[in-house]
Structure 1
């Protein structure tokens, strides 16, 4: 790891302008994702997160599919801005799709009825941790990424195209590629308003 943990967190930003230019071998991308899926924690060690990595033609196909679904609901006269976003994401090197397995969640709800209401919440928490871990891992390797949410608009087409089990619920999409423009400045609210310490 070329950066320490805290620097990697600070450098992870939303990059929208990225390219298909080669940064690291595909095997390294897969290694980052697999490492996160294996080691990121989950409530009751439930391991509810599922991930699909789309590279090459499959990445292109996802954003073409998403564009097609959006054209069904966004008026043609208002589509220019949406098309710009689709072109940005389509220009990326790859996309990571994050899912949560609802079958596992429901099984835990049945097994531990006292906590039934909490398992969907805990599932969302572990999904967010996986997204953050993968995002930071990609950043360390020189990729820029962003987090998108075109679910549930694309869910059915994704399920058909990549034979996704019906119990996997799509939660987020992460296009990534070599940054071609820096993100803007980021404002931070005062930490004293957000962190309280009692000794």
Structure 2
């Protein structure tokens, strides 16, 4: 049996010398959009609009080709960093999405889902977008779940928080497909203990990417983690495959005020650099 260093192994996989046999779930596509009271599974769709932000001056237009082309607009690292700096946690949020349509939100999510990196290109990330009545249903489920475990005399503050989330416009649910992770563990046993960690890292990158993208479109958001308390009911309500593990919920909507102050520790305590270019 030939052994490869991690970098050599990835290169070998990319060149096609080693082919993945990771089983893929057939119940849903990696991205499912659920808008208002109608459930829609989006499969084999090609977004025609690429990611844009307030700093983009041009974007690719729809074409008759089978795949969309990314914008060739060049932007600086400072422009990207400015967007990252602008991303903050906003409470509460409104249902006002301005000119942003359901289709545009779904296109942004699909673009991020396709292009955020994953270890060995395993693509274990899965996403469900809830809008309108479906979004509200999620927070009704969460409220009822918490009501059963939170003491009655302290539930009022919890109920207020749930009402705040419900008052937003939508929620993005982030999952990782454990079938993919387990398949990679079996195929590359030498890295078996790392694949769950790498899957979480990829999911975190997707969460941050979408948070920044929604900020770029003028929306506010906050990230919640009511899993695993709501996992079973979420899976039942929206027919989520058993292998999809819920990791986080990104609540988004119109901003109703400014973000709070954010304190930063000295960068010198968090950064080291060696050598020079």
Which residue pairs with 1:8 in the alignment? 83
Which residue pairs with 1:147 in the alignment? 223
SS at the partner of 1:145? strand
SS at the partner of 1:89? helix
Structure 1 position 21, deviation (Å): 1.2
SS at the partner of 1:146? strand
Which residue pairs with 1:88 in the alignment? 164
Which residue pairs with 1:20 in the alignment? 95
Structure 1 position 22, deviation (Å): 2.7
When normalised by structure 2's length, the TM-score is 0.71
Report the Cα distance in structure 1 between the residues aligned to 2:103 and 2:95, rounded to whole angstroms: 16
Which residue pairs with 1:174 in the alignment? 250
Report the Cα distance in structure 2 between the residues aligned to 1:81 and 1:49, rounded to whole angstroms: 33
Measured against aligned partners, the alpha-carbon deviations of 1:68-94 in whole angstroms (never above 9, x if no partner) come to 000011011111111121011101000
Structure 1 position 26, deviation (Å): 1.1
When normalised by structure 1's length, the TM-score is 0.98
Report the Cα distance in structure 1 between the residues aligned to 2:247 and 2:254, rounded to whole angstroms: 24
Q: Which residues of structure 2 form unaligned runs of 5+?
A: 1-52, 56-78
Q: Which runs of 4+ in 1 moved over 3 A?
A: none
Which one has the largest radius of gyration?
2
Which residue pairs with 2:64 in the alignment? none
SS at the partner of 1:184? coil
SS at the partner of 1:22? coil
Q: Which residues of structure 1 form unaligned runs of 5+?
A: none
Pairing of 1:150-161 with structure 2 (within 5 A): 150-161=226-237
More helix by share: 1
Pairing of 1:24-43 with structure 2 (within 5 A): 24-43=100-119
Aligned residues between the structures: 199
Q: Which moved more, 1:19-28 or 1:155-164?
A: 19-28
Report the Cα distance in structure 1 between the residues aligned to 2:180 and 2:153, rounded to whole angstroms: 43
Report the Cα distance in structure 2 between the residues aligned to 1:116 and 1:56, rounded to whole angstroms: 40
Pairing of 1:31-110 with structure 2 (within 5 A): 31-110=107-186
